[in-house]
């Protein structure tokens, strides 16, 4: 690793730290910090690699990435300057630009589209990066739980909310890693030839978005464990686990071409119980959502690991 590459990694580490700190208030007062750190990581890494790889064969793919991150930067920054639903719409547009561009192999003026082989990853490398990606997101949930407890005081109801948050963190880890971490990692690592892992990679932003939603919900729940549960809180408390199960099902299908039935059943149960969550305090709603995740984890354990044949994930 060169000195410049090492500096790029350190810069990415700093940007990730800022993103993690800003994530709980990304749709509040820290939207510009969140979007700015994200763009600094993406554009900074691409720009450094374009410079380091100048004249080489790999410069063109990095230049394509830099171009499209520059395009998506417009709605990212515009959304950060807006408030409410407008920010969500603009950020969704930014993500759509990045996803669609990647699916189309980054068509860029003057550079054309990338070759399919440019999007290949070794299975072992891809599996390792995916595990790290999700583990960092879980660390954010733990961080938010600890910081919110410190600010809210050590009350009985607050401790109950913290226990629900801890249980949820463990269950997210269990549901993801029980087969997605071990079996799917082996399937990717043992796949013949490079794995074109765009579906696998695309599943992880969904999983991370789910963890962020859950983190935000627990910031509210731990701060105000009792009383009325507002509809917006219910959307986060129930929607976060539902989005996680959807992302987990997508990841399983991308690798094995199958989806375990307990994932959609869990999503359905969360949807069915969501109207009743307005009748219980926030800590009760969070505990109910955690129980659904526990049910999914128990079904996974009872069913046992299944090897299956890995799908062509690309």
List, for residues 22-74, the tens digit of each pLDDT value. Answer: 776 777 888 899 899 889 888 887 888 787 777 777 788 888 888 999 999 99
Confidence at 195, pLDDT banded by 50, 70, 90: very low
Q: Say how many CA atoms lie within 13 Å of 207 toward its Cβ.
A: 28
Q: Residue 193 corresponds to which tokens in the numbers above?
A: 């030839």
Q: Residue 314 corresponds to which tokens in the numbers above?
A: 């690309």
Using CA atoms, how far residue 5 sits from 38, 56, 100, 269, in Å, is 18, 16, 28, 47
Say if CB 38 and CB 26 are below 8 A apart. Answer: no
Say if CB 241 and CB 166 are below 8 A apart. Answer: no
How far is residue 117 CA from its own chain's centroid? 26
Looking at residue 304, its pLDDT comes to: 64
Residues 6+ apart with CB under 8 A from 88: 27, 79
Assess whether pLDDT exceeds 60 at residue 198: no
Rounded CA-CA distance 80/245 in Å is: 28
In this structure, the dihedral spanned by the alpha carbons of residues 179, 182, 248 and 229, taken in order and rounded to 10 degrees, is 90
Confidence at 312, pLDDT banded by 50, 70, 90: very low
Rounded CA-CA distance 93/27 in Å is: 15
Residue given tokens 């059943």 in the structure block: 265
């Amino acid at each position: 690793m060169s000195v410049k590459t090492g500096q790029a990694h350190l810069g990415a580490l700093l940007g990730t730290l800022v993103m993690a700190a800003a994530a709980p208030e990304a749709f509040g007062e820290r939207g510009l910090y969140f979007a700015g750190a994200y763009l600094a990581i993406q554009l900074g890494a691409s720009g450094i690699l374009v410079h380091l790889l100048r004249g080489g064969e790999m410069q063109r793919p990095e230049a394509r990435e830099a171009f499209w991150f520059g395009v998506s930067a417009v709605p990212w920054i515009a959304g950060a300057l807006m408030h409410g639903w407008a920010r969500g719409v603009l950020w969704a547009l930014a993500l759509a630009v990045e996803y669609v561009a990647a699916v189309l192999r980054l068509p860029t003026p003057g550079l054309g589209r990338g070759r399919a082989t440019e999007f290949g990853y070794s299975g072992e490398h891809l599996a390792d990066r995916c595990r790290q990606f999700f583990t960092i997101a879980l660390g954010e949930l733990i961080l938010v739980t600890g910081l919110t407890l410190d600010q809210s005081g050590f009350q009985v109801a607050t401790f109950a909310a913290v226990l629900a948050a801890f249980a949820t963190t463990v269950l997210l880890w269990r549901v993801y890693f029980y087969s997605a971490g071990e079996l799917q990692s082996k399937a990717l690592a043992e796949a013949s030839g490079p794995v074109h892992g765009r579906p696998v990679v695309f599943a992880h932003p969904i999983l991370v978005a789910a963890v962020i939603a859950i983190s935000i919900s627990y910031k509210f729940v731990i701060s105000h464990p009792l009383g009325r549960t507002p509809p917006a809180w219910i959307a986060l408390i129930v929607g976060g686990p539902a989005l996680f199960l959807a992302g987990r099902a997508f990841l399983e299908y991308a690798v094995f071409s199958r989806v375990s039935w307990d994932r959609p059943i869990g999503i359905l149960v969360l949807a069915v119980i969501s109207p009743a969550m307005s009748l219980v305090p926030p800590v009760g709603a969070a505990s109910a959502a955690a129980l659904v995740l526990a049910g999914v984890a128990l079904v996974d354990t009872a069913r046992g690991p299944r090897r299956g044949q890995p799908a062509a994930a690309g």
